[in-house]
Amino acid sequence: MKKRRVVVNDLMQTGYVYTLTEPVGKNFPPDFNPELTPKEMLRLGVFGGRYMTDCGNEFPSDWFEQARLCPERHDPDLNFFGVNASQPLSEWRRKGWIYDEDPRGWFQWYCRYYMGRRCPDDERQIRRWRAMYRHIAQIRAHCYPGDLHCRPRQRQALLHWAYDSRKI
């Protein structure tokens, strides 16, 4: 695979450069197997539609063709489950969840990882992704299979982390 440089110029980063070293959607560690691609997540509705509305030049245009987005504001109605399951970016920063190279958080990291970027934060982010699995156990323990109305905030949060909670 030919390495490719990506230069980012959006509302949150200017002049950030990274290199894609892996094929798109390939070469993930065996313990990191997201059920949804970034394109699928955007199409389903995540982060109230506000996430990455200014990143069309960084990622494939087809990711945004049927994405449920709202550049003006966070709109929980655009989420697949129609509920707010997000904390504000200020809270993510306060808790130390933000890696400097990915100022928008986990989903931005995942989009870049999916595209083929590898970085020093990969191991931490994959650990955080694995930690979300506990929510699947809670849904299984408290909901009937396929009942998408049971625990919608938890299900939406799982969608934010590329787990397909519609299948639980």
pTM score, whole prediction: 0.94
Provide the domain limits for residue 146.
4-167
Residue 41 and residue 159 in contact, taking contact as beta carbons nearer than 8 Å: yes
Selection from 122, 162, 98, 103 nearest residue 21 by Cα: 122
Q: Which tokens hold the place of 86?
A: 């997000």
| Element (DSSP H or E) covering residue 91 | helix 89-94
* Tens digits of residue pLDDT in 82-106: 999 988 778 878 888 888 899 999 9
Type of residue found at 161:
W
What is the number of domains present in the chain?
1
* Tens digits of residue pLDDT in 15-67: 999 999 999 999 999 999 999 999 999 999 999 888 888 988 999 999 999 99
- Beta-bridge partners for 9: 14
